[in-house]
């Protein structure tokens, strides 16, 4: 997170304060490095669009042969595509428009381009596909990456320092194969490109070089060698954990392409532990994602239905990954008891931690077990389960319940209503 001084300087600059280019340039870079992407984008947008905000203007200099104005254009497009405060339905389109205004070859495929910019355009389309799920965006990403591979490095070293568009093209080829677009051809093309990267990319201990080689090996299912490639990176050259988010998510996608339950494969788990050392929950979150469960309303009929949902998820070993519950009306009866049940036994922590290793029957209060394993589908079984559910729920809410924060709270049963049952005044 950015420090307060950095945020204050950004707000003053956006409010009209004039800075030298060197100061403003360091400001947006500092915000980006602190994961304040939205604020960094706004500062960079002001640098490019309001020249009066800089006392000395944007220099005409170049960095590694690339004009500073072009570098700023690329970065504004990249930050726009990644800005979490902008709607996913527009931010990627806006990012491509920024690139198209700065580089005519983005929209005109007949013009020669540069691999870095085309790679950024491919990344924008890939993120748009990830957010909106449209296959055409994935195909467009592959086209940008393909064009980027033809002009990324010098003639005698076409893979450059890190084969950036090449490794991403291989990844997108795999995604298109999974989507059913000429799968055999695309998988073969992806594997051939990865083998070519491993053969021709000159190894170094720089982060992006090592990450590219690790991804090429990972994509070929050589997980142990991929882990060794990551270990070549010196500690001082490893990015901050939050900066690894995109890379880790790409590896997670690949792992699911190869394996049904990636973290059950020891070599894959070791790889992610090397990529994100000491961050067990982050690893699980990257590979599995954050799973939420919504339980809708509909009285006790909904409660019966949700019991079956919980049982089905438990049988498939998915219930243990649920971290968030969203419930209403009849769904709240099941959701509340599910959330509270481990706390009645003295457990605390997150929902997933509290229920880890517990079966669906162990998660339910004792009266529920009788109804759940009895004749739920019969005319005699349903009233018994309805009675035991409500009695259990009210009796537990009328007792002292330990909360996840370690504090104790008491909720009188007489003040608790559910569905059409009115609370006493």
Residue 410 pairs in a beta bridge with 400
Note every long-range contact of 303-310, with CB atoms under 8 Å and residues 24 or more positions apart, other chains counting. Answer: 303/330, 303/331, 303/333, 303/334, 303/389, 304/376, 304/382, 304/385, 306/330, 306/331, 306/334, 306/335, 307/334, 307/372, 307/376, 310/334, 310/338, 310/360, 310/363
How far is the C-alpha of 287 from the C-alpha of 260, rounded, in Å? Answer: 11
pLDDT tens readout for residues 87-140: 999 999 999 999 999 999 999 999 989 999 999 999 999 999 989 999 999 999
pTM for the whole thing?
A: 0.72
Surface-to-core class of residue 422, CB atoms within 10 Å of its CB (0-12 exposed, 13-18 middle, 19+ buried)? exposed
Higher pLDDT, 198 or 311: 198
Q: What is the mean pLDDT of the chain?
A: 81
**Residue showing tokens 């990972």:** 218
Q: How far is Cα 157 from Cα 201, in angstroms, rounded to an integer?
A: 8
pLDDT of residue 61 exceeding 90, the answer is: yes
Whether pLDDT at 11 is above 80:
yes
pLDDT of residue 82: 94
Lowest mean pLDDT among 142-151, 160-169, 371-380: 371-380
Query: What distances in angstroms separate CA 401 from CA 256, 363, 367, one per listed residue?
Result: 40, 16, 18
**Inter-axis angle of helices 115-132 and 135-149, nearest 10:** 170
Full 3-state SS string of 99-159: HHHHCHHHCCCCCCCCHHHHHHHHHHHHHHHHHHCCHHHHHHHHHHHHHHHCCCCCCCCCC
Least confident residue range of 29-38, 196-205, 312-321: 312-321
Cα of first residue to Cα of last residue in the chain, in angstroms, is: 48
């Amino acid at each position: 997170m950015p420090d307060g001084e950095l945020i204050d300087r950004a707000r003053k600059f956006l409010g009209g304060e004039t800075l030298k280019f060197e100061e403003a340039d360091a400001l947006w870079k500092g915000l980006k490095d602190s994961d304040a992407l939205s604020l960094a984008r706004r500062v960079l947008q002001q640098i490019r669009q309001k020249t009066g905000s800089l006392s000395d203007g944007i220099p005409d200099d170049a960095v590694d042969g690339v004009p500073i104005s072009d570098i700023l254009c690329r970065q504004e497009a990249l930050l726009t595509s990644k800005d979490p405060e902008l709607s996913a339905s527009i931010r990627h389109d806006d990012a491509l428009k920024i690139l198209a205004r700065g580089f005519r070859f983005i929209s005109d495929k007949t013009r020669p381009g540069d691999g870095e910019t085309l790679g950024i355009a491919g990344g924008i389309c890939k993120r748009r596909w990830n957010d909106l799920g449209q296959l055409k965006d994935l195909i467009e990403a592959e086209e940008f990456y393909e064009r980027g591979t033809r002009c990324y490095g010098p003639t005698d070293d076409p893979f450059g320092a890190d084969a950036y568009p090449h490794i991403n093209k291989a990844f997108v080829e795999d995604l298109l194969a999974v989507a059913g677009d000429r799968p055999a051809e695309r998988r073969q093309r992806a594997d051939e490109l990865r083998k070519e990267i491993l053969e021709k990319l000159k190894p170094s201990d720089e982060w992006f070089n090592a990450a590219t080689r690790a991804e090429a090996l990972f994509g070929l299912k050589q997980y142990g060698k991929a882990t060794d490639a990551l270990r070549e990176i010196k500690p001082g050259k490893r990015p901050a954990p939050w900066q690894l988010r995109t890379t880790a998510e790409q590896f997670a996608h690949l792992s699911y392409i190869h394996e049904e339950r990636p973290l059950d494969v020891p070599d894959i788990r070791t790889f992610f532990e090397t990529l994100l050392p000491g961050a067990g929950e982050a690893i699980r979150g990257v590979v599995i994602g954050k799973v939420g469960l919504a339980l809708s309303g509909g009285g006790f009929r909904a409660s019966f239905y949700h019991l079956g949902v919980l049982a089905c998820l438990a049988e498939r070993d998915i219930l243990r990954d649920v971290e968030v519950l969203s419930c209403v009306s009849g769904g709240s009866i099941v959701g509340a008891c599910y959330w509270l049940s481990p706390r009645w036994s003295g457990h605390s922590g997150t929902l997933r931690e509290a229920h880890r290793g517990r079966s669906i029957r162990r998660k339910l209060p004792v009266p529920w077990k009788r109804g759940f394993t009895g004749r739920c589908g019969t005319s005699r079984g349903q009233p018994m389960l309805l009675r035991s559910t409500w009695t259990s729920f009210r009796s537990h809410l009328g007792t002292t319940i330990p909360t996840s924060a370690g504090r104790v709270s008491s909720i009188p049963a007489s003040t608790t209503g559910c569905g059409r049952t009115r609370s006493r005044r």
